[in-house]
Structure 1
Amino acid sequence: MCGIVGFVNSKDQKQEIIEDMMDRIVHRGPNSSGKYTDKNVALGFRRLSIIDLEGGSQPIYNEDRSKVIIFNGEIYNFQPLREQLIAAGHIFSTHADTEVLLHGYEEWGAELLQKVRGMFAFAIWDIEKQELFGARDHFGIKPYYYTQMNGTFMFGSEIKSFLPHPDFDKELNTAALKPYMTFQYSPLNGETFFKNVFRLPEGHYFTYKDGKLTIKEYWDADFTKKDAYSKDEWIEEIDKTVEASIAAHRIADVEVGAFLSSGVDSSYVTSVLRPDHSFSIGFDDKTYNEAIEARKLTKMLDLNNTAAVIDGDMSFKAFPLIQYHLDEPDSNPSCVPLYFLANLASQSVRVVQSGEGADELFAGYQTYGFHTNSKMVRVFAQGLKKLPKGMRYSIGRKFGHMKNFHGRIHLYEATAPAREFFIGHAKVFDEQEAASYLKPEFQTAPSVKEIMNPHFDQTEGIESEVNKMQYVDVHQWMPKDILLKADKLSMASSLELRVPLLDIEVMKLAQRIPAKYLMNQNNTKDVFRQAANRHLPEEWANREKLGFPVPIKAWLKEDHGYEEVKALFTADFAKQFFDQEKIMKLLNDHHEGKAEVQRKIWTIFTFLTWYKVYFIDEEIPKAEAITYETL
């Protein structure tokens, strides 16, 4: 795992500038660094050594030094591809997967991307053609940003690496704030919270030559083709594919550990991987402690586990640094425990496997239409799903306008068109409510429909509403929230995080499974859970998904948490964005027990923390030594 950064222009002082840019992402690669410069380009690289520890330093050149590559990620099928390329006459100077990408591009061009299995963000500079080629993996596991400013094209793993460049103009993208308040993350299609800084979309590659940028898609999810296997056959196929993926993701020249929560996804990975080290984190909360629950499983499986407990004080101290590493504000409360979990694991290993991706690929979210514990309601909803589409939609819309009753939301979301209600798995503020808290200059922004419709427009050939929601998540929730925080907060501690359940081979299987075997009256991701059951105690595979339970509700009722948030809500710079009287009423109502609005408070607090870090303080937040209370 590494970090890459680079720029293209015809100006001087490339050596000094690229080194400053590399220094901003030293956390992504503390083991070594390297750079390449010529009159038109500068490439920088920070390395965390995982494969070919001695010989894998970058940049790497081809045989005649006409091409040079920098690469962040892992290619899990690099060994068979290496053999093919050697047979085709290519000469390798290392045993690293990086060189497979370089020679593969020489041999196959952009078709290379149809052959690789892995997570990646890379750039290849063709010295003879003076042309840049770059690509991001199928799902966006690895981040990739770019911008064109003042005659310079910049690209890299993290936005913060652009800050030292003299041609970079740091400016807030005012259109990002209002939709962020609904989605909890930066949801815009392309542009980020930094004006004129863009994400390279997942499953896309680009070329840059003579000042012209061209971006093309090379892969997309396809939920239109289904196979007529029996339920038992699907369970068998899932288990074989998951086991093979976990084995492929184990390839490394260093030890591979695992993150473990109490949920089925990470438990499945850990039970198959059986690592020497697994890691769990929990809070000093009286109602539920994730670390204690995870520890129960490792005792059943006779596995080693390192578990620690964190509290609100630790979390508030680390929060500015967390938002710094994320590059853009993300108010997903799970960012906090994930940061500490990665830090804890980094003290013992360089690589971990984790359970991200299973909910999107196998329909694990309750928001796909599983909102009741009543079996009678679930069976009734399953029957309604069999009605003709027009009749089903009509009934669903009627449920949507009824007064609330037990099971109404379940029936509505099981029958109505997904386009009419689904935006992902967090909806903090309604659009109109968000506007009411914002100053007028921040009320003009893309609407929720304008953000979501391009994704739903691509689902017209998909029959199942569940599959439509999965498709949307693959392009919205997953790359912009789940995978972004997984990468940024693991790399904050120089830890490589691998996601074997989010793998192109697993996806090829998952997208062919009929929705009735995924989301039904029995459970979410039903056949996936039953595949996991082969390795786990039955009660474990059927546990309700809790995510990372974070006690922000309690923190904001306590005096310390209240004062931390109040200091930002009443700061002079906050009135630039918000009606301060209204946001203080939110905070006070929660603190006094008049309302439970912790997610709304946390979302505003997160943005203000991020803005203060990047636009007020303009310095890297201090990283304090962390002392864990272990279990």
Structure 2
Amino acid sequence: MCGICGIIDKTKNVEGQVEIVQKMMDVLYHRGPDDRAYHTDLGIILGFVRLSILDLESGMQPMQNEDKTVTVVCNGEIYNYRELRDELKAKGHIFHTQCDVEVISHMYEQYGPDFIKRLNGQFAIGLYDKKNDLVFLGRDQVGIAPLFYTRVGEAVVFASEIKALLKYPGVSKELDLTAIDQMISFPGIIAPRTVFKGINSLESGHYLIIKNGEITNTEYWDLLYDKEIKYKDENEAAEALKAELEKAVRYRLNASVPVGFYISGGLDSSIIASLINMVGSDTIRHSFSIDFTAREISERKYQQLVQKQVKSIHHERLFGIGDIVSNLKDAVYYSESVLKETYNTASYVLSGLVHENNMKVVLTGEGADELFGGYVGYKFDKMREASKAQRMSQLTKEDMEINDFLWGDPCYTYEKNHGSFLDQRRKLFSNKLVDSLKDFDCSRVKVVDTKKLEHMDLLQKRSYLDFKMRLSDHLLSDHGDRMAMGHSVEARYPILDINVIETAMTIPSEMKLKGYDEKYILKKIAEGIVPKEIVKRPKFAFVAPGSSDILKQNDEYINEILNFDRIKSQGIFDPEYVEELKKQYSQPDFKLNLPYDSDMLIIVITTGILMDIFEVAGV
């Protein structure tokens, strides 16, 4: 992937904006260290920095159609470009490169904004339509490629990362307190919200039309589970799903540079590694893994099993608490967000290992837990449903009111009982913010359209919520794209291929969570191609040591971030309570049960780091 940015402002001389776009591209250098260019038109500038992966000689952007009336910058990959290219050629379109992105301008010319529904890929697109004097911004169905935008006066500014937007004069660095509250309460911040007030993340499966100073936001795809259940036989379902996964892997191995893959030791990455070996057995590929010095979270035994089976050239990095401390500042800088776990640092170091070995592309296994009932929450839902009367007696009136507002069901719990959790949030926030909590309380802000959940069964409902609240804006963004691109590495996700997802939607829930056996249908696929020790092992959450371990390192920078007077002057968190947490977390025998316990102190630490890096004022 690459980096894109742009300014739309019909009231200003475009030449006066070029210097700003250059500064925006400067801070996107890590996304595209190989080349850079920009295109100007009346009131429009599109900027591009390139990470060269496909058609190295002639794949430079911005790209245009035949008569130069449609100009495109794209961060990402269009995997079905060959099929689309053949279709467009048959309709008379002329191509000049072998680059996948070239199909975008012609697809738009042929089909208008709805062309985006035909794309299979991971992409964020900026497109200028000169004839209709409009700008189109679009993001892939799942949200793998990031795209942020904001408005400053008459100008609309967009970019692959927030740090580029902050180079535009007048963009505010004010913290969005609801976003911080979401980070405390949910798996992460939920689009369109970001940690910076007024800076929006374009939602996955959405596109914008910017015309005459107006912005129109359209949803073109969603994980609605509205498709007919197609498979009643589990062998038939497994065969169909495996065929789509094989195709998705083939698509993602296409590149003009070597392609490697991650091995975590878990089921999902092991399936991808095995399929890579099956479909490309004539190529010896590089694989990469992180192993933790803490024995209780080490997966090296399982990583080695996979590596031996696929016979890759393997690279591993031993990772300890000291590595978390030394990489945490970089992790926050590239994430551009508050973090609620430390494992972003492990992902960042892992992509660094890829970069050190002169590689630009890796395949990884994210997405299976959300599609196939992999998290423990799916089992909890099933247990609660079996004892609903008892469950209702455990909920407070406030729990039920919030559940009904957020999820459309007073008895449905996602992540935690948010009414009961309110006391914990009140403790963490400063007295000043507690007094105004109702103004930014995330449990009073809709995050999904609850009508969409009404027809879904229990597993589908959690799958939808995980997609919206965990996958797109957390695992694929601050944990995925940003940590990979921090080292100029493109991560590709076969399980999140749109055809794999739509096939998964036609498989009944009882084949995903069979009894209490998670990802059952994936295990059927894995039989015979993945070592049996991995197929049969229980789900193992990818975690890294938490803030209690960090505190025990007695790092000078972390100590300064948590300084009582500093916390007090920032006005976000209660300094007295932070001191209590520090004392508790520093006890020799204290250990957070991650990922089930909330690591409150890592939120405080990373908020402080974010404010330090981006020079954000307190409240």
TM, length-normalised to structure 1: 0.87
Runs of 5+ unmatched residues, structure 2: 278-283, 397-406, 593-597
Is contact 1:67-1:127 (8 Å) kept? yes
Is contact 1:149-1:169 (8 Å) kept? no
Match of 2:578 in 1: 583
Deviations 1:534-572 (A, max 9, x none): 3112221232222323122662462435x6543222153
Match of 1:355 in 2: 365
Match of 1:33 in 2: 36
Aligned pairs for 1:417-566 (under 5 A) are 420-424=411-415, 430-439=421-430, 440-441=432-433, 443-451=437-445, 454-462=448-456, 464-484=457-477, 485-552=479-546, 555-556=549-550, 558-560=552-554, 565-566=558-559
Aligned pairs for 1:364-383 (under 5 A) are 364-369=374-379
Say which of 169, 191, 194 aligns to 2:193.
Answer: 191
Q: How many matched pairs?
A: 586
Is contact 2:231-2:506 (8 Å) kept? no
Inter-partner Cα distance in structure 2 for 1:42 and 1:426: 47
Query: Structure 1 289/232 Cα, relative in aligned 2: closer, same or farther at 3 Å?
Result: same
Inter-partner Cα distance in structure 2 for 1:492 and 1:449: 33
* TM-aligned CA deviation for residue 614 of structure 1: 1.2
* TM-aligned CA deviation for residue 158 of structure 1: 0.5
Is contact 1:35-1:59 (8 Å) kept? yes
Match of 1:335 in 2: 344
Inter-partner Cα distance in structure 1 for 2:108 and 2:471: 28
Query: Structure 1 527/399 Cα, relative in aligned 2: closer, same or farther at 3 Å?
Result: farther
Q: Please tell me whether residue 611 in structure 1 is matched to residue 611 in structure 2.
A: yes
Say which of 271, 275, 279 aligns to 2:274.
Answer: 271
* TM-aligned CA deviation for residue 130 of structure 1: 2.0
Say which of 558, 568, 571 aligns to 2:561.
Answer: 568
Query: Structure 1 370/176 Cα, relative in aligned 2: closer, same or farther at 3 Å?
Result: closer
Is contact 1:334-1:549 (8 Å) kept? yes
Deviations 1:175-233 (A, max 9, x none): 3222322225323x422111111111111111101100001111111313312421221
Inter-partner Cα distance in structure 2 for 1:573 and 1:616: 13
Q: Please tell me whether residue 215 in structure 1 is matched to residue 217 in structure 2.
A: yes
* TM-aligned CA deviation for residue 238 of structure 1: 1.7
Aligned pairs for 1:41-190 (under 5 A) are 41-183=44-186, 185-187=188-190, 189-190=191-192
Inter-partner Cα distance in structure 2 for 1:528 and 1:424: 24
* TM-aligned CA deviation for residue 492 of structure 1: 0.4
Deviations 1:362-421 (A, max 9, x none): 1111111259xxxxxx9xx59x76xxxxxx7445435769xxxxxxxxxxxxxx997644
Is contact 1:280-1:290 (8 Å) kept? no
Inter-partner Cα distance in structure 2 for 1:550 and 1:146: 32
Q: Which amino acid aligns with 2:583?
A: N
Inter-partner Cα distance in structure 1 for 2:392 and 2:550: 37
Inter-partner Cα distance in structure 2 for 1:300 and 1:454: 42
Query: Structure 1 418/49 Cα, relative in aligned 2: closer, same or farther at 3 Å?
Result: farther
Query: Structure 1 418/357 Cα, relative in aligned 2: closer, same or farther at 3 Å?
Result: farther
The 3-state SS of whatever aligns with 1:249 is helix
The 3-state SS of whatever aligns with 1:308 is strand
* TM-aligned CA deviation for residue 522 of structure 1: 4.5
* TM-aligned CA deviation for residue 118 of structure 1: 0.6
Is contact 1:28-1:491 (8 Å) kept? yes
Inter-partner Cα distance in structure 2 for 1:38 and 1:453: 37
* TM-aligned CA deviation for residue 355 of structure 1: 0.4
* TM-aligned CA deviation for residue 327 of structure 1: 1.3
* TM-aligned CA deviation for residue 329 of structure 1: 1.4
Inter-partner Cα distance in structure 1 for 2:418 and 2:611: 22
TM, length-normalised to structure 2: 0.89
Inter-partner Cα distance in structure 2 for 1:29 and 1:158: 12
Q: Which amino acid aligns with 1:526?
A: Y
Query: Structure 1 511/201 Cα, relative in aligned 2: closer, same or farther at 3 Å?
Result: same
Match of 1:309 in 2: 318
Q: Which amino acid aligns with 2:610?
A: W
Deviations 1:301-335 (A, max 9, x none): 43321111122222212111110101121223321
Inter-partner Cα distance in structure 2 for 1:553 and 1:432: 21
Q: Which amino acid aligns with 2:6?
A: G
Is contact 1:239-1:532 (8 Å) kept? no
Deviations 1:574-622 (A, max 9, x none): 212111111111111121247545712222212222122112599xxxx
Q: Which amino acid aligns with 1:48?
A: L
Q: CA RMSD in A?
A: 2.6
Query: Structure 1 2/80 Cα, relative in aligned 2: closer, same or farther at 3 Å?
Result: same
Runs of 5+ unmatched residues, structure 1: 372-377, 386-391, 402-415, 619-631
Match of 1:404 in 2: none
* TM-aligned CA deviation for residue 113 of structure 1: 1.6
Match of 2:399 in 1: none
Q: Which amino acid aligns with 2:433?
A: E
